[in-house]
A and B are shown apart, each in its own frame.
Chain A
Amino acid sequence: GAVVSQHPSRVICKSGTSVKIECRSLDFQATTMFWYRQFPKQSLMLMATSNEGSKATYEQGVEKDKFLINHASLTLSTLTVTSAHPEDSSFYICSVARVTAGGRSYEQYFGPGTRLTVT
């Protein structure tokens, strides 16, 4: 079954508005979640690491004031795209990390993604 859910799956908004995307860990409590972005025909790019109860860690080149992340509980992280512009149109995907059997490594499981179109 699904490990991670995201809502909404698709959103169309006007330029200048803000959009909130929710990511929920369904199977376990996740102190850390991740937000990625994927443009057409491109790789997934990590935007930020969301930490429960503390500030998110942003990757270089990602504006923290534009992409607001809140990780208020162990099962929910939200990404708000503020003052969205057409160039923010993309596929936004969250993930959670789970320790593999035997504790050898972490495996990441992705939500179904949110397709944002800014007109």
Chain B
Amino acid sequence: RKEVEQDPGPFNVPEGATVAFNCTYSNSASQSFFWYRQDCRKEPKLLMSVYSSGNEDGRFTAQLNRASQYISLLIRDSKLSDSATYLCVVNGVGGSNYKLTFGKGTLLTVNP
């Protein structure tokens, strides 16, 4: 099982749609979880951290299920500017709080 596994995508949705991304991780000792977005040929940018209680930031909602080792990201009312690759990222692999392990990413295209 891969350390961090995501929906392969790609996702093509119309503006205004709701879209959900799923991610699983293999190391039960992982401590911290994040969603990053990466635009084509750019660096990843932190979208949101994911906390055990779940958290929301505007149109974005992240959920964590430690028992299932599962993370999700929900985007409501999609905008054209949401088009990007979404990376599920897990910290704390190998006993280190610093080391990040990235999923391969899920490409989202929001169409007009």
Contacts and interface: CB of A to CB of B under 8 A. Distances in A.
A115 B49 contact: no
B42 A107 contact: no
Interface residues of B, number: 22
Contacts of A106: 32, 91, 97-98
B43 A110 contact: yes
- Which of B32, B98, B101, B105: most chain A Cβ within 10 A? B98
Given A43-B102, A43-B103, A44-B102, A105 B41 contact: no
A113 B42 contact: yes
Given A34-B98, A43-B105, A110 B32 contact: no
A34 B102 CA distance: 14
Interface residues of A, number: 23
B110 interface: no
Contacts of A46: 99-101
B98 A32 contact: yes
Contacts of B99: 46, 49
Interface in B49-84: 49, 51
Interface in A81-114: 91, 93, 97, 100, 104-113
A8 to B, nearest CB: 14
A105 B46 contact: no
Contacts of B101: 46
Given A43-B105, A110-B43, A115-B41, A105 B31 contact: yes
Contacts of B51: 104
A105 B97 contact: yes
Nearest to A40: B41
